[in-house]
Amino acid sequence: MTLEHLLAERDGSVLTLTMNRPRVLNALSLASLRELDRVLAGAAADPAVGAIVLTGAGDRAFAAGADLRELSRYTPFEAQGHAREVQGIFTRIERLPTPVIAAVNGLALGGGCELALACTIRIASASAVFGQPEINLGIMPGYGGSVRLQRLIGRGPALEMLLTGESIDASRALQLGLVNRVVPAMALHGEAQALAALLASKPPVARRCILDAVAAAGESSIDAAQEHEAALFGLVFATEDMREGTRAFLEKRAPAFRGR
C-alpha cells in the first residue's frame, strides 16, 4: 500500500505508524484518517503484527487537531456526516483486536486528543500537552471526546477541560489517568517500542479476548459484561496456548506461545 500521510515501519511483531504532516503539526485531515483506518485494518488482519505504536512526525505534535481549513468549509449537514465517519474510525481503533499504543510526543489537541483517547494505552513525553479547545472556536468535540474523556478521567475533570478549552501538561494528564506513563522526550520512542514488544509477546488469542472483554464492559451492564467475560474465558481454554502456558508455569520454564 502506498502511503501519503503515514510512515510505516515494522520491527519484528511491532508496527510503528507515524502521522506524517509535520508542516501542519500532523493535523488530521479526512484523507489522513481514512488512510490510518485502512492501514490499521490491514495490521489487525495480519497475525505477524502483535502490537502497534502510533505517533506523530517531528517533536512538536502528536496531532494538533482536525484540519480546520477542511472543517471550515462544511455545511451543518456535512459536519454531522464528517463527525459520524471519524467517530466510526476511532471506534474501530478502540475495538481493534491488536493493542495500539499512542506515543504522544507533543501537542495532542482537539481531534489529536480524541485519537489518543481511542488508543489502548497512552505514553506521553514530558513535553506533551493535551486539550479539547473546540469551545474556543465556537464548536465542540465531534470525534468522541465528550464520551471517552469523561469515562477515562471522570465527569468533573472532563467538563472542566471541555468547557474551559484549557490544555493540561503531561504531569496533570498522568495525575488524572489520561495517560499511563510520562517519560523524558528522548526516551519516548524506546519506551513505546519496549511496551509494544512486551504486549506482542503475549498469547494472541488471550490478548484479543482481553481487549474484547474490556471494550464490551465499557458499553454493557455488569451482568452482561461478566457473561461475555465468562464466554471468552471458556474460549481461551480451547487454545493450545492455554495448555502451553499452564504447563510451562508448572514446569517452571518460559512458555512458547504459538497463537493457537
Q: Please identify every residue annotated as catalytic.
A: 114, 134
- The set of cell numbers assigned to 88 is 466510526
User: What span, in angstroms and rounded, lies between the C-alpha atoms of 100 and 98?
Assistant: 6
Three-state secondary structure call for residue 258: coil
Q: Which residue has the cell 480451547?
A: 238
Q: Given CA atoms 45, 49, 50, 53 in this order, what sign does their dihedral have? A: negative
- Pick left, alpha or beta for residue 215 (phi over 0 → left; psi -120 to 50 → alpha; otherwise beta): alpha
Best CA proximity match to 49, nearest among 1, 113, 108, 96: 96
CA 15 to centroid of chain Cα atoms: 13
- Rounded to 10 degrees, the C-alpha dihedral 61/9/83/156 comes to -50
Number of helical (H) and strand (E) elements in the chain, helices listed first: 11, 10
Best CA proximity match to 129, nearest among 145, 112, 141: 112
